[in-house]
Amino acid sequence: MVGTEEAPVFVKIEDYKDIIDVLGLIKDRLAEAKRTLADINELKNDEDAELELWGSTLNEIEKKIEDIDRTLFEPESTW
């Protein structure tokens, strides 16, 4: 900024230590939140993979049932 001078800021040493402690706590909580988010994301990926497997299994079962239906209810041409 042109034409403005910043005056030095004086803070009591006790207040400075409190601020440093609070910043440390904030950093710890932020790291914890990031770990929690990573854990949730991993669970979501695991869940998505499991649901995809279930969907594939159901499709396979459906195809097998269709084959059984076709075999049981279509007339044999070689009787």
* Per-residue b or e along 1-22, where b marks 16 or more CB atoms closer than 10 Å to that residue's CB: eeeeeeeeeeeeeeeeeeeeee
Q: What's the confidence (pLDDT) of residue 67?
A: 94
Domain-wise residue ranges, the chain: 11-70
Q: What's the confidence (pLDDT) of residue 74?
A: 82
Q: What's the confidence (pLDDT) of residue 78?
A: 55
Residue 27: which of 19, 39, 15 has the closest Cα?
19
Name the residue with higher pLDDT: 1 or 63.
63
Contact 19, 11 (CB under 8 A): yes
Segment 36-42 mean pLDDT = 98
- The mean pLDDT value of the chain amounts to 91
Place of tokens 């459906």: 62
Q: What's the confidence (pLDDT) of residue 18?
A: 94
